[in-house]
Chain A
């Protein structure tokens, strides 16, 4: 699929931040003389997604990727920053009326299809909920027909609508969740780890369905995942999150061909290379630090092989490099031993 890079983005996120108050209750705090505690779950994240494109956010657990997803669909209010959907700031509390109208145009697919479908609702009621909630349809026959179409769209039998969610497998349930997300004809879908709760054998099936639907309806996806294979299969652009900040944003092909940020490299090195004579797999070292008191300077420095004094003192800004945007002092200073591919070195 070709993407018009000059088209105005459908979604633009600017300097998004979310701070969670994790303090103990007031009384306990007074007695134990503890200060209030805050977690910066997301800090200064910016990216944009063009219409029809898929943008993937990757990161370890606790990197803030789900928080971003939930802010984009309005489940959590951002502490700072703007979320522009079709040039309307949906995070602006002064524009709730506009946002209510825009809401129909974006939807979400959740990680666990066992939790995201109400066990007491029949499948047709689950899928019909957006239709009635947005007031798109009220005629029963019309709704029934639409639900049947949606079930066919996700390769299920329209007769399945009379069943309950527990009568379906994980992959089928996720397809029901996709049908619900599509019910109101959205343009933009946030997919929060849509396949990580599924068996490997059905992951590809769900992902391919998502791609087919994208082609058919020109959907725009924000894909949250920790699986690099999924990123490669699905995404046009990738943002690598580390402790609530974007370490690197790059077009997918470029990111896999030439990872710039040391963290991105570490993630890619951890993927086993199954070709004969492939490079040995290197495990990721260290753990993601506690976000309540993150390390000073660049938050990645305790795990970074390239860290120096500046990294320990000063948080890096973004450096543009080709199609990529990287937050790393080493990249900025050209200190990376840009391990060149063999062919490149010979030329």
Chain B
């Protein structure tokens, strides 16, 4: 398929020539942030192959390895760990890789959930207007008066209560994703609604209506593509917030189960030992979390500026 290859090559060339890529290359900070996100993302993705131990497998842990400082051999077993171990003898480096995996998974998935809800309701509110708009936006306003964390906690609590005990353990991550996702939809809905209201008034939408295209199709085919730019920006910025929210929930002990720790869980475990001198248990997971959140945020900031024609 030479023709298809040519098309693909053309597309790649266009992408590399685009304004977006140009502004990306021109911003060293953004390039560094992208590299950090890429490295951590890949490391998290490939954790089972990279990590020296499996921190989720209790049988592989040796309590004798507990609280080994970084790069120093354990005084009983003689094992050395790159970033030390926690109280259970869990390798901190492996735990960070697996933890970042969960943090990123929950972050991405919850952003997808809030995006899906926010885009659907925002399109509906902006396109239909009238009482549909009023109802949806008032619900969003009410939800915005509560802190995201509180809403997520509440939804998490309700979901836990509704689930049978047996299902709680393996449903913990989906429930967490859903609660963070639902806690953050109003921001997407507001933005989407605004763009939709502008696009709805344009003649090309009227032209589609004259042709008798049903409202759902007009929203999907004509308005949705125009909405995606701004949504992508808040989604990127929202990703770091979602990761932090997940870490906060896990830190509070309501997130993922302690048997499969996320970065937040590691922080909770670590903070118990900070006063007794075992600083590495808290320090390295914290650095990893900051690195992810900061890099994603920087990418989001860059994307926002790059897509804003007024700043060009």
* A→B interface (CB under 8 Å): 70, 73-75, 100, 103-104, 107-108, 110-112, 115-120, 129-130, 133-134, 177, 180, 184
Contacts and interface: CB of A to CB of B under 8 A. Distances in A.
B160 interface: no
A240 to B, nearest CB: 25
Contacts of A177: 207
A111 B204 CA distance: 11
Nearest to B224: A120
Given A116-B203, A118-B204, 14 more contacts: A74-B209, A110-B203, A110-B207, A115-B203, A116-B204, A117-B207, A118-B208, A118-B222, A120-B225, A120-B226, A130-B211, A133-B208, A180-B207, A184-B211
Interface string B190-221: 00000000000011101111111100010000
A133 B212 contact: yes
Given A118-B222, A134-B212, A75 B203 contact: no
A103 B209 CA distance: 10
Nearest to A125: B221
B202 A129 contact: no
A74 B206 CA distance: 10
Interface residues of B, number: 15
Contacts of B204: 115-119
A177 B211 CA distance: 13
Contacts of B208: 118, 129, 133
Interface string B221-235: 010011000000000
A100 B203 contact: no
Cβ-closest 9 pairs across A and B: A116-B203, A115-B203, A110-B203, A118-B204, A133-B211, A130-B211, A103-B212, A108-B210, A133-B213
A180 B225 CA distance: 21
Nearest to A120: B225
Contacts, number: 51
Contacts of A74: 209-210
Contacts of A134: 211-212
Nearest to A119: B204
A134 B210 CA distance: 11
Contacts of B211: 103, 107, 129-130, 133-134, 184
Chain A residues touching B, majority SS: loop
Contacts of B209: 74-75
A133 B208 CA distance: 9
Interface in B109-146: none
Given A118-B222, A120-B225, A120-B226, A111 B210 contact: no
A136 B245 CA distance: 51
Nearest to B217: A133
A104 B212 CA distance: 8
Contacts of B225: 120
Contact of B206 (A75, A180, A184): A75
A119 B207 CA distance: 13
A110 B206 CA distance: 9
A130 B212 CA distance: 8
Which of A70, A107, A129 counts the most B-chain CB atoms under 10 A from its CB? Answer: A129
Contact of B212 (A100, A110, A119, A180): A100
Nearest to B222: A118
Nearest to A177: B207
B207 A111 contact: no
B210 A107 contact: yes
B205 to A, nearest CB: 8
A210 B207 CA distance: 18
A133 B210 CA distance: 10
Contacts of B206: 70, 75, 108, 110, 116
Contacts of A118: 204, 208, 222
A186 to B, nearest CB: 10
Contacts of B210: 73-75, 103, 107-108
Contact of A108 (B207, B213, B222): B207
A112 B212 contact: no
Q: Which interface residue of B204, B213, B225, B226 has the most chain A CB atoms within 10 A? A: B204
A254 to B, nearest CB: 32
A116 B212 contact: no
18 contacts: A70-B206, A74-B209, A75-B206, A100-B212, A103-B210, A103-B211, A104-B212, A107-B211, A108-B206, A108-B210, A116-B207, A118-B204, A118-B208, A119-B204, A129-B211, A133-B212, A134-B211, A177-B207
Contacts of A75: 206, 209-210
A129 B204 CA distance: 11
Given A118-B222, A120-B226, A129 B203 contact: no
Nearest to A73: B210
Nearest to B205: A118
B227 to A, nearest CB: 11
A97 B213 CA distance: 14
Contacts of A117: 204, 207
A327 B213 CA distance: 39
Contacts of A104: 212
Given A110-B207, A180-B207, A115 B202 contact: yes
A259 B266 CA distance: 87
A112 B210 CA distance: 16
A133 B207 CA distance: 12
Given A120-B225, A134-B212, A112 B207 contact: no
